[in-house]
Amino acid sequence: MTAARRPLLPWLVWGVAVVAYVIAVVNRSSLAALGPATQEHFGIDATALSMFAVIQLVVYAGLQIPVGTLLDRFGPTAMILSGGILMLTGQLVMATVHDVRLAILARVLVGAGDACTFISVIRLLPEWFALRQLPVVNQITALLGQVGQLISVMPLALAVSVFGWTVGFAGVAAVGLLIALIGAVVLRDAPGRGTAVERMLGRIGRMSRGARSFAGHESTAELGAVAPPPTELVSIVGVRGAAAPPAGFWRRLRILLRIPGVRLAFWIHFTPPFAANVLLLLWGTPFFTGGVGLSPTASAGLLSLAVVASMVAGATLGPLTSRFMERRVWVVLVGSCAVMLVWVVTLLWPGSPPFAVLVVLVLVVPVGGPTSMIAFEVARSHTPRSYLGLATGFVNMGGFIATLIAVFLIGLTLDLQGAGEPENYSLPAFRWAFATQIPIWLLGLAMILLEMRRTGRWMNRHGRSLR
């Protein structure tokens, strides 16, 4: 096959975008294996430690819709680069302060930058890849992003213990700066669009002008089944007789949310991933060391295994959902139930759960992360292209709203039991704390089933075939 038929630039753009996402995950989860160290560094209890993650996630989730709107206006490249600058600034602050209030400001900056990154990468992919490639490419993107979790669990924690807090977090900021500079000369919003540097200089290079994409070569049948609905559909869903999509932000959002497939995508992203986020972002190390009584080395090994399990699940689910698109929501339901079941078994185990049970826990729970990526495929099938950034931001809020609720409730429940500090951690306290996740699962599963029925009726009315 000739080079003209196998363009390389889409893979280069995707590669740099994925690395930017990896760095965003490193920034997001930089406290994952540093919970006790963070409490010692700032002299805080469990609720205050939870607030580091909660505030970061509140900022992340709260900015998804505004960032989605900016994404539709300014494009993915500008948002990815802006996010990188915000995160490296936040990590520089985190590296140099001892005041809790300034540390919270640092996590706000990290959360804001993180909010710009993932949905921008997801929005970038349809411009460069064919519709049938997107489920696989999306899952590989999420899979590679988990490398950031591994870096946080092992190398970053090791760097902080060996070289100190300041050097560890400053190093993360330095890597972020390097990736932002590379992104400025490589990333392009779409074929024919210039890089950030080219647009600043007012000169579009030959590579940008001659760029080719994998998109646009699908068969009519594929387009009919997988492609998003036309923009004109929002006038049917929203205000009768409207000739064009409304320009106002709140009106656009209200009309978008009247499409049940978008709401279904939100709950799909809400339900499966939060348990894995709880383990990997904050509470995994305290639970394994302070609750179960494992050594820090064993705890780090389990968290690393969880990341590997998430990567394997992503590599499996991508081809699976691409092959069986019409069953993708059922994959979400099965995956969510499996995650909930393995947690319930772990919490109800008489005495301390054996190491084998913990291994099963860290192998199953991370499946929720890749499973939640199906939400973006569902959203893309139901969202007109001109609304896609806004819809992606709204859907991406789901998992992080669930995560921040779970993270906060776990910390609060520990404190209410007098077990909010490392020296007071206990397995019974963690059992009650982690049990607060169950109502979140039940809510998410109920809403998925409800919105599935509504989406089915909507598809029948509007001649759509793929839920």
What domains are defined for the chain? 9-462 (1.20.1250.20)
Predicted pLDDT at 462: 65
Residue 52: predicted pLDDT: 81
**Residue-wise pLDDT tens digits, 35-60:** 777 888 788 877 777 788 778 878 88
Provide mean pLDDT across the span 424-451. 94
Tell me the per-residue pLDDT of 399-429, one tens digit each, with 9 for 90 and over. Answer: 888 988 998 899 899 989 988 777 888 999 9
Amino acid 92: pLDDT: 94
- Residue range 186-238, pLDDT digits in tens: 999 989 899 999 999 888 888 888 888 876 655 444 444 455 554 444 544 44
Phi, psi at 423, each rounded to 5°: -70, -15
Buried b (16+ CB within 10 A) or exposed e, 212-245: bbbbeebeeeeeebbebbeeebbbbbbeeeeeeb
Q: Is the dihedral of CA 29, 33, 36, 41 positive or negative?
A: negative
pLDDT for position 2:
40
Residue-wise pLDDT for 124-171, tens only, equals 998 898 877 888 888 888 888 878 877 876 788 788 888 888 888 899
In tens, the pLDDT along 261-314 reads 999 999 999 999 999 988 887 788 889 998 999 998 898 889 889 888 888 888
pTM > 0.85: yes or no:
no
CA–CA separation, 333 vs 335, rounded Å? 6
Confidence check: pLDDT of 178 > 90: yes
Q: Which of 334, 314, 300 lies closest to 149, judged by CA?
A: 300
463: left (phi over 0), alpha (psi -120 to 50) or beta: left
pLDDT digits (tens, 9 = 90+) for 183-194: 999 999 989 899
Backbone φ and ψ for 334, nearest 5 degrees, come out as: -65, -45
